[in-house]
């Protein structure tokens, strides 16, 4: 226990980098009891099928530590506001916004557990938030991103509803994950509703789009 406390005081970054030993006591147990029925934590996706995906009511979390920003995760678990306008894996039913809420103590333990689940596919510190004409052009015109995702623009929310909302992506998503996801989506999940852009956009274009998504407040 003493060792864990020292690790934590050295800094959150180190905690994220380390693996099993950095789990807060109990986070994995709380997850098994309250969360595992709806979320799977084993990956990567090449061992999964669409049927596996549909068998769970919530998104896969085996790379949660690569995908989410820690502060967002800890806060969201205590006060989970809808991310998707529509129910997960549905193109017709509304998201009822009834995600279970965790206590502050459980949320802290769960956050430490989930931030320890990472994917080696995500290279840290490459994508920095940036708005460029090229990225705007891709997101809004060249590619149909904005037709499926809502996003902030000029103080308003624009865009489609079939994909997760990207409003707040600046605080929710790790930009390096967004890039890795767009570049190699099949590593993360069996693809169904989100198109595979790896053969459509080149790596520089994917970087620009990931950097742009990271500016969405």
State which residue, 4 or 160, has the beta carbon closest to ligand HEC.
Answer: 160
Integer Cα distance of 66 and 174 in angstroms: 7
Residue of 17, 25, 29, 58 interacting with ligand HEC (CB under 6 A): 58
Q: Which residues contact 174 (CB under 8 A, 6 or more apart)?
A: 66, 67, 68, 69, 122
State which residue, 10 or 81, has the beta carbon closest to ligand HEC.
Answer: 81
Residue of 84, 136, 171, 187 interacting with ligand HEC (CB under 6 A): 84
Residue of 24, 83, 115, 180 interacting with ligand HEC (CB under 6 A): 83
State which residue, 24 or 35, has the beta carbon closest to ligand HEC.
Answer: 35
Q: Is residue 88 near ligand HEC by the rule CB under 6 A?
A: yes
State which residue, 6 or 41, has the beta carbon closest to ligand HEC.
Answer: 41
CA angle, 68 then 86 then 111, to 5°: 25
Dihedral angle computed from the Cα positions of residues 36, 39, 42 and 45, in that order, rounded to the nearest 10 degrees: 160
What mask, x for binding ligand HEC by CB under 6 A, covers residues 154 to 193? Answer: --------xxx-------------x--xx------x---x
Closest listed residue to residue 173, CA positions, set 137, 141, 149, 138: 149
Binding segment (CB under 6 A) for ligand HEC, from list 7-15, 42-50, 55-63, 120-128: 55-63
Closest listed residue to residue 209, CA positions, set 172, 181, 171, 186: 181
Q: Which residues contact 61 (CB under 8 A, 6 or more apart)?
A: 35, 39, 40, 41, 114, 117
The residue count of the chain comes to: 217
Binding residues (CB under 6 A) for ligand HEC: these are 31, 34-35, 37-39, 57-59, 61, 64, 73, 77, 82-84, 88, 95, 99-100, 102, 110, 143-145, 147-149, 162-164, 178, 181-182, 189, 193-195, 197, 209, 213
């Amino acid at each position: 226990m003493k060792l864990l406390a020292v690790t934590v005081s050295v800094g959150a970054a180190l905690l994220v980098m380390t693996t099993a030993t950095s789990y807060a006591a109990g986070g994995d147990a709380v997850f098994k009891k309250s969360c595992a029925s709806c979320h799977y934590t084993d990956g990567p996706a090449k061992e999964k099928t669409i049927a596996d995906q549909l068998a769970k009511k919530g998104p896969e979390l085996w790379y949660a530590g690569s995908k989410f920003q820690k502060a967002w995760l800890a806060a969201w678990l205590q006060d989970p506001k809808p991310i998707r306008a529509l129910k997960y894996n549905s193109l017709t039913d509304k998201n009822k916004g009834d995600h279970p809420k965790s206590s502050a103590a459980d949320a802290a333990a769960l956050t430490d557990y989930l931030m320890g689940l990472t994917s080696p596919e995500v290279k840290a510190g490459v994508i920095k938030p940036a708005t460029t004409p090229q990225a705007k052009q891709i997101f809004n015109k060249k590619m149909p991103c904005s037709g499926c995702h809502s996003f902030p623009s000029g103080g308003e929310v624009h865009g489609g509803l079939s994909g997760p909302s990207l409003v707040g992506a600046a605080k929710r998503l790790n930009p390096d994950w967004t890039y890795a996801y767009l570049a190699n989506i099949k590593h993360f999940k069996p693809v169904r509703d989100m198109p595979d852009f790896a053969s459509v956009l080149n790596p520089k274009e994917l970087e620009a789009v990931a950097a742009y998504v990271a500016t969405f407040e």
